Amino acid sequence: MAAFIGHFCWEFDVSETGSKIASPCVSLCCLDEDDVCMGCLRHINEITGWHGMNDDERRELLVVLEQRRDEADPPKCK
C-alpha cells in the first residue's frame, strides 16, 4: 500500500510489521491546509506514525477516525 504525501511516496506493508490491523489509507491521499488527509482523515503525524504504532494504538486511532468521519462535512464536488 502506498500513500503520497507531498512529493514522497510512503510504502506500508502490514505483514512487515506483524500487525493484522490494516492501514486506514483509502488511496485518496490529499492533505488539506491543516495537514489532514482528505481520504482517511488522519493528520500527517498519524500517517507517518502508523508504522511505529502497536495494535492497541492503531485500534485507538481507528476509533478516533470513526468519530472524525461522523463529525466531518461530506466532501463536496465542484
Residue 77 lies in a domain: no
Residue 76 lies in a domain: no
Residue 38 lies in a domain: yes
Joined together, the cell numbers standing for residue 74 give 461530506
Strands 2-5 and 8-11 turn out to be antiparallel
Joined together, the cell numbers standing for residue 31 give 492533505
User: Domain count of the chain?
Assistant: 1
pLDDT at 19: 74
The residue type at 14: V
- The domain of 61 spans 2-13+24-71
Which pTM value belongs to this model? 0.69
Residue 78 lies in a domain: no
Q: Do residues 60 and 68 touch, judged by C-beta distance below 8 A?
A: no
Q: Do residues 43 and 36 touch, judged by C-beta distance below 8 A?
A: yes
pLDDT tens digit at each of 78 positions of the chain: 444 444 344 444 444 556 788 999 999 899 999 999 999 999 999 999 999 999 999 999 999 999 999 988 765 544
